[in-house]
């Protein structure tokens, strides 16, 4: 068991209460940002699209899923390293399928690959939870033509070479940057979050 898994298993029953007290705005900011881009037709994201499937990676107690559910999305699956957090996500009632013990530092399970129209990951590229290369694991589970929205804490972005990593994926054609916002609400009163929106390009016909 990793130290993060143990910490979140222990914290899970009090997580929602504690982060509310610390003004954790990440989930709300991320979903509002996503819907603004959707309304502007910058991302193919809508609850009215048929069979629209979302994966919330490291979903925690389900705060992002609940926000998405309020926007009308009905098929939301979730994964997390911590079983305790997955139990809380189950109580939220926002998810169809939930999977515990899924470590984002490793490729996500094969049967999830290429399955999701939208992959969300909030509050996870922070501290030392995951390495920047975990972005490639989000790409794997997203359908060609699908969208990824994720946050990086400003301190994470400054410490790890997240920009260098996502740019390397853009250069290989695995990812396109659609939009981003830096220094926006995340935790507490500081604007300490960056938000990133990517498109996973559809395979080009005739491409080698």
Ligand X SMILES: C[S@@+](CC[C@H](N)C(=O)[O-])C[C@H]1O[C@@H](n2cnc3c(N)ncnc32)[C@H](O)[C@@H]1O
Positions in the binding site for ligand X (CB under 6 A): 4, 8, 26-27, 58-60, 63-64, 80-82, 85, 103-105, 122-124, 129-130
CB of 46 to ligand X, least distance (A): 22
Closest CA to 155 of 186, 198, 197, 179: 186
What's the rounded Cα separation, in Å, for the pair 102 and 104? 6
Tracing tokens 């003004």 back to the chain, one arrives at 23
CB of 204: closest distance to ligand X in angstroms? Answer: 32
The closest residue (CB) to ligand X is 60
Q: How far apart are the first and last CA of the chain?
A: 42
The answer to whether the CB of 120 falls within 8 A of the CB of 56 is yes
CA distance 73 to 52: 8
Residue 49: phi and psi, rounded to 5, are: -70, 135
Residue 203 to residue 145: CA distance in whole angstroms: 8
In the complex with ligand X, which residue's Cβ is closer, 105 or 159? Answer: 105
Q: Which residues pair with residue 120 across a beta bridge? A: 56, 149
Residue among 27 and 146 whose Cβ is closer to ligand X:
27
- To ligand X, the closest distance from the beta carbon of 205 in angstroms equals 35
Instruction: Please choose, from the candidates 115, 38, 133, 134, the residue with its C-alpha nearest in 3D space to the C-alpha of residue 75.
Output: 115
Residue 76 or 81 having the CB closest to ligand X = 81
Shortest CB 201 distance to ligand X, Å: 25
CB of 8 to ligand X, least distance (A): 4
Query: Cβ 206 to ligand X, closest distance in Å?
Result: 37
With 0-12 / 13-18 / 19 or more C-beta atoms within 10 angstroms meaning exposed / middle / buried, residue 83 is middle
Cβ closest to ligand X, residue 62 vs residue 146: 62
**For ligand X, which is the closer residue by CB, 14 or 176?**
14
Q: Between 38 and 126, whose beta carbon lies closer to ligand X?
A: 126
């Amino acid at each position: 068991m990793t130290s993060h898994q143990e910490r979140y298993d222990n914290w899970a029953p009090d997580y929602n209460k504690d982060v509310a007290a610390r003004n954790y705005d990440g989930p709300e900011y991320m979903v509002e940002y996503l819907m603004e881009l959707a309304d502007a037709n910058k991302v193919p994201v809508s609850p009215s699209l048929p069979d629209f499937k979302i994966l919330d990676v490291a979903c925690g107690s389900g705060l992002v899923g609940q926000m998405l559910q309020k926007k009308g999305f009905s098929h939301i699956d979730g994964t997390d390293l911590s079983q305790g957090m997955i139990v809380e996500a189950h109580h939220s009632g926002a998810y169809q399928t939930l999977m515990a013990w899924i470590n984002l530092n490793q490729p996500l399970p094969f049967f999830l690959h290429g399955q999701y129209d939208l992959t969300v990951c909030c509050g996870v590229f922070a501290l030392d939870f995951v390495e920047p290369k975990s972005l490639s694991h989000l790409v794997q589970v997203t359908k060609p033509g699908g969208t990824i929205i994720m946050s990086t804490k400003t301190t994470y972005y400054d410490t790890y070479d997240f920009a260098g990593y996502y740019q390397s994926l853009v250069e290989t054609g695995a990812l396109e940057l659609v939009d981003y916002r830096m220094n926006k609400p995340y935790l507490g009163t500081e604007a300490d979050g960056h938000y990133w929106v990517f498109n996973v390009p559809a395979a080009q016909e005739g491409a080698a």
